[in-house]
Structure 1
Amino acid sequence: MSKHEQPQAAPEVVDRDRFEAALAEQVAAEKEVTRHNDRVAASRRRLPMVEVADYVFTGPRGPVRLTELFGDHYLLVVQNVMFAPDWKEGCPSCTWAVDNLPADMGRLADEGIAFAMISQAPIDKLEAYRRERGWEHLWVSSAGTSYHHDWGWTRPDGQGGEGPLPGYSYYLRKDGTPYLTYATTARGTEAVLPVAQFMDRTVYGRQQDWEDSPEGWPQYPTYG
């Protein structure tokens, strides 16, 4: 069975009043989540920051410093895309995450935020994969730098196997110096994945095997 085949299992059918009452209860619970998220966001804005070396990456046209990724902006979001030096293509889940980016990235620029992607693979592999996927985002290689190891974007051997991790780094450029203000990985990345958020709100959710769903709800391996 695939996600394109409609499951037999479905929610209980009730009258309009019962549905409205159940929905109101759910909305009240979700408002609490929203308020808690607001408190977490307020705490995030009060985090300290740490200076980051002005790494020299390799871009499509040659060396690119971290500070140059900001362009004319003082804010920068970096997507750390899993693509190890010996891989033939990017990680499927990271690829899906890049495909989730806004269709109009100018909306980020309108808010004074620059965007770039960084991976360990050599630039020729990144450029080939970028063209294959039809992405227009700036993608630079950290090969030849210690960036991935310095900031934990590659697991050291012995911590679940050496390899890259997915996630986002948020930077501020102040007086010409880059600072890291926030970073997130694993499920912390989900907040910026709109397709995942849409899926969560459908009756069957993401249909992944870790979800707590009613009996008979379709579920598939998360990374299948």
Structure 2
Amino acid sequence: MNKQDQPDAAPDVVDRAGFDAALAEQIEAEKEVTRHGDRVSARRRRLPMVAVEDYSFTGPGGPVRLTEMFGDKYLLLVQNVMYGPDWDEGCPSCSWAVDNLPANMGRLAGEGIAFAMVSQAPIEKLERWRAQRGWNHLWVSSADTTYHYDWGWTRADDAGREGPLPGYSYYLLRDGKPYLTYATTARGTEAILPVAHIMDRTVYGRQQDWEDSPAGWPQYPTYG
């Protein structure tokens, strides 16, 4: 069985009044989530910022400095895509996240936000994977820099095994200098994954094995 097959399990059937009452209660709970999100966002806007080295990455045409990745914008979103130096392919989850980006990236540009991706793998590997996935985003390699180590995008586990982390870095260009204003990894990346949020609101959710779902609801390994 896979997600293309309709599950046997389904919600209880009630009359219209019962559904409206249950939905109203759910919406009220979701409104509190929204209000809490507004409060958290207000805190985020009050974070300090930290100066960042103007790293010289490697792009398809040669060196690309962090400040150059802003283009003519003053805000920059960088997706830290998991692609280790010795990997043959990019991370499936990170690739899925790239596929979740707006179809019209001009919507970001219209808000003064530039976008780029950074990985540790050599630029030749990144370009091959980018072509295979059909992406046209700027993707640079940090292989010849300390960027991934300086900012914790590559870490060692308890066994000493080293590997990259997924996530997003948000930068501000001020007086010609780049500053980090926010960064997130792990489930913090879900904020900009519309497909995940659409799945959340279907009756079966994401169908992942960590979810609290009714008995009989389909669930699959999260990283299977």
Scaled by the length of structure 2, the TM-score of the pair is: 0.99
Letter in 1 for 2:204: Y
State how far apart, in whole Å, the 1-side matches of 2:221 and 2:22 are: 30
State how far apart, in whole Å, the 1-side matches of 2:157 and 2:119 are: 18
| Percent identical residues | 79
2:147 paired with 1:147 = yes
Q: Secondary structure at the match of 1:195?
A: helix
What is residue 123 of structure 1 aligned with on the other side? 123
Q: Secondary structure at the match of 1:19?
A: helix
Q: Secondary structure at the match of 2:12?
A: coil
Q: How does 1:33-44 map to 2 (within 5 A)?
A: 33-44=33-44
State how far apart, in whole Å, the 1-side matches of 2:111 and 2:64 are: 23
What is residue 85 of structure 1 aligned with on the other side? 85
What is residue 162 of structure 1 aligned with on the other side? 162
Q: CA deviation at 1:158?
A: 3.5
Q: Secondary structure at the match of 2:101?
A: coil
Q: How does 1:143-222 map to 2 (within 5 A)?
A: 143-156=143-156, 158=158, 161-222=161-222
Q: Secondary structure at the match of 1:53?
A: coil
Q: CA deviation at 1:56?
A: 0.1
Letter in 1 for 2:100: N
Letter in 1 for 2:61: R
State how far apart, in whole Å, the 1-side matches of 2:46 and 2:88 are: 40
State how far apart, in whole Å, the 2-side matches of 1:117 and 1:85 are: 15
2:53 paired with 1:53 = yes
Q: CA deviation at 1:23?
A: 0.2
Q: What do residues 145-180 of structure 1 show as CA deviations (whole Å, max 9, x unaligned)?
A: 000000000013537731000000000000000000
State how far apart, in whole Å, the 1-side matches of 2:80 and 2:141 are: 10
Q: How does 1:57-72 map to 2 (within 5 A)?
A: 57-72=57-72
State how far apart, in whole Å, the 2-side matches of 1:203 and 1:101 are: 24
Consecutive unaligned residues of structure 2, counting only runs of 5 or more, are: none
Consecutive unaligned residues of structure 1, counting only runs of 5 or more, are: none
Q: Secondary structure at the match of 1:108?
A: helix
Q: CA deviation at 1:100?
A: 0.5
Q: Secondary structure at the match of 1:184?
A: strand
State how far apart, in whole Å, the 1-side matches of 2:48 and 2:57 are: 26
Q: Secondary structure at the match of 1:27?
A: helix
State how far apart, in whole Å, the 1-side matches of 2:165 and 2:91 are: 10
What is residue 99 of structure 2 aligned with on the other side? 99
2:107 paired with 1:113 = no
What is residue 6 of structure 2 aligned with on the other side? 6
State how far apart, in whole Å, the 2-side matches of 1:63 and 1:127 are: 15
State how far apart, in whole Å, the 2-side matches of 1:5 and 1:125 are: 35
Q: Secondary structure at the match of 2:90?
A: coil
Scaled by the length of structure 1, the TM-score of the pair is: 0.99
Q: What do residues 125-162 of structure 1 show as CA deviations (whole Å, max 9, x unaligned)?
A: 00010000000000000011000000000013537731
